Every structure is written in structure tokens, then in C-alpha cells.
Amino acid sequence: MTYPDTFEGFAVFNPSPETWSTVKKYEFTPKPFEDHDVDIKIQTCSICGSDVHSATNGWNKTNAYYPLVPGHEIIGKVVRLGPKVTDFKLGDRVGVGAQAQACLKCKICKSNNEIYCPHLVHTFGGVYQNQDGTETHSQGGYSNYARINDYFVFHIPEELSNEEAAPMLCAGITTFSPLVRNIPKELPEGQSKPRVGIVGLGGLGMMGIQWAHALGCETFVFSRTSRKKADAIKLGADQFIATAEDPDWVKKVEFDLDLVVCTANSAEGFDLNTYLRSLKIGGKWVNVGLPETPFTVSPRSFMANACFMGASHLGSHVEMIRMFKLAVEKGVRAWVEKIPISSDGVKEGLERCRYNKCRYRVALTDFDKAFA
């Protein structure tokens, strides 16, 4: 069978340390087509750190399943519309991020927080509870097609190329949402701009720095070494701090920042207690990376400045629309390296992502050729 009965994607079959990045073509049956569904013929999908964590089962999910097709930074063309879809027409260029479904009825959803809906389904690695009573594993965007509820499908502004836009759908919104939710609305006398830190310059940091700058913040970038300093400045950093190169780095920013968005992907060797000292009284630290091991923190670490630590997951429909508007207005673009999709291309992309060997995202392209 072929589309629309089955889709085809590049799947991880075994998350073991030897085979996690080895993908093979895999035919799968998508969820039943429902009234609000949109089918998308995929043109581009960029590679997110979550793809790696899922390919290795690094989060030790007990309900992980394989074969698993990763990918949730998806751009393509609308090829089929459910009868209740009103916002799209055939041929529209659209994007899909990491969320594919929510109940859209609960108090969480009704408050524009559908990303925190207890019934959310992720674009891959999740389980759809279909209207016909069946269940379907969700599979991601290293595929020829995606079938997604229209609330989680977004128009892509014509000013952005596929590759410039794709990473915004996860890395972009993941850093945009905690900024717009937590940048203080009022500033003390004498402070003209919010002071925001971005920790780490990878796929998330690359987007976060640009958003913080575009949102009018004085932007502080923290990285271990100076290696990425020129890039950080180009992305919009006002200050760059190489934490491994100056044991007293925190003195430059002590009690100074309103908000820090931390994209660090590992808790190991991460000196959270020192970092927290960079926050103003009552300042906020938001984790958007998802380390595989926990932090150990004492309430005392927060007591020196009454600071807060939290986390954030993706962002809402309303925020996604606002984000793309800002990208157009302020010239924000994802920085990507392109790799044509294939078994080898996916392997290379996943490994570059895992070992921080790209500036700063890999976008899989040429889907037409791979799924001819």
C-alpha cells in the first residue's frame, strides 16, 4: 500500500549504543484520517536534540517503541484536508512542531496552554487515541507525509525559506515561549531593557539569542569557551561570557539578570549553584534542555536572591503565530546546514546533532528524491 493508506519514513529500529543512529526505510500506517486532520507532503525536517534522546532512549521511557521515525521540525505542502479544516487550503506551505494533538477542551487548553494538556500527543513517540477507539503510535517527520490536527499546523511566512523556518517549529518556539512568558513587564527605574541570559549556544541557543535580541532585551550569552563568541555576537548577543575561561565569571553578572533560559543538555559538571547567582532578586531560571540526569539543589541555593528555577515545554499555538510574525519583522532566521535525507544522511545528521558538530542545526532536505 502507499499514501494515503501508509506513509514511509526513516526509522530507528534499536536504541542500543551501536545502532541508535542507524535508520532504515520503514512503512507505517498513520492514524485514521479525522475531520480536523491535515495531510502534509514533507519537504524539509530539521533535527532536534529530542530526536537523539529518543533514538537512544536516553530518557529511559518505559513506553518507548521502535521502529521509531523521529522528526518534529517539519515543513511541507498541504495535500489533503479534513472536512472541518478551515484555515488551510491545498498547496499551502505549512509547518508542524513537536505537538500533534491535545484535547482542546480542558481548562489548560482553554487558557492557551494546550502544550501542557494532560492529553497531549507528541508528533513522534506518542500514542493517538483515535475517534474510532483504536490507538496509533505517532511517527515523525523523517517521512514522506505527516497527518496532524489542524490546530498544530502553521502557515509559514513567505519571507522564510523551508530551512530557515523548520527549526523554529521546535527549537524556536521552545526558547520563544519562556521568554515571552517570563520577561518582566515592568523594570526598575534606571533599567531601560530587560536583561536576559541564554546559556549554551547550540540549536536552542541559536534561536534563543535571536529572540531575546528581537524582543528588545540586553542579551547575555554563556558558553564554556570563546569558540562561539563571534557567532553569538552576530546572532544578537550584547555580552558573551566564557565560563570555563574565567573562574570569577559570575562576578560580572551577579544579581544582574531578570531571566535566564538554559539550553544545557546535560546536568553533569553544570554548576547550577553558581549560575543562579547571576539572577536578580526574584529572577527566574528556565530550563529548556532536558538533561538525562537530575540536578541536586538545596532550597538554600535559591535563598541568596529569592530566585526561581523552572522549566518550559515548547509553546502554544498563539505563541507560534506571534513567533513567526516577529521572525519576519526582525529578520530572525535559523542557521542550518543541509543534508539530503537518506539512511546515511539521517545517520550523519543525528550524530552531528549529538556531538555538537553543526552550526547550529541540521535540516534534512530533498525528500522528493528519497521518496520518489
Residues near its own copies, by CB under 8 A: 59, 107-108, 111, 113, 116, 178, 181, 188, 255, 281-282, 284, 287, 289-291, 293-313
CA of residue 102 relative to chain centroid, distance: 18
Task: Report the alpha-carbon distance of residue 196 to residue 183 in Å, rounded.
Answer: 8
CA–CA–CA angle 83, 87, 90 (5° rounding): 70
CB of 238 to its own copies, least distance (A): 19
CB of 252 to its own copies, least distance (A): 15
Q: How many CB atoms lie within 10 A of CB 222?
A: 27
Residue 291 · residue 263 · CB < 8 Å: no
Cβ proximity to its own copies: between 133 and 294 the closer is 294
CB of 55 to its own copies, least distance (A): 18
Cell of 195: 536583561
CB of 280 to its own copies, least distance (A): 9
Q: Report DSSP state, residue 348.
A: H
CB of 86 to its own copies, least distance (A): 26
Cβ proximity to its own copies: between 47 and 307 the closer is 307
CB of 139 to its own copies, least distance (A): 23
Cβ proximity to its own copies: between 83 and 188 the closer is 188
Cell of 64: 518507548
Q: How many CB atoms lie within 10 A of CB 17?
A: 8
Report the run of H or E that residue 92 belongs to, with start and end. none
Cis peptide upstream of residue 360 (ω within 30 degrees of 0): yes
Residue 261 · residue 198 · CB < 8 Å: yes
Q: How far is CA 322 from CA 98, 197, 276, 298, in A?
A: 17, 21, 30, 37
Task: Report the alpha-carbon distance of residue 260 to residue 281 in Å, rounded.
Answer: 13
Give me the residues paired with residue 284 across strands.
Answer: 259, 308
CB of 295 to its own copies, least distance (A): 6
Cβ proximity to its own copies: between 143 and 278 the closer is 278
Kindly give, in sequence order, each residue whose CB lies less than 8 Å from that of residue 64, ignoring residues fewer than 6 positions away: 15, 54, 57, 125
CB of 61 to its own copies, least distance (A): 11
Task: Report the alpha-carbon distance of residue 341 to residue 349 in Å, rounded.
Answer: 9
CB of 303 to its own copies, least distance (A): 4
For 302, phi then psi, to 5°, come to -95, -5
Give me the residues paired with residue 233 across strands.
Answer: none
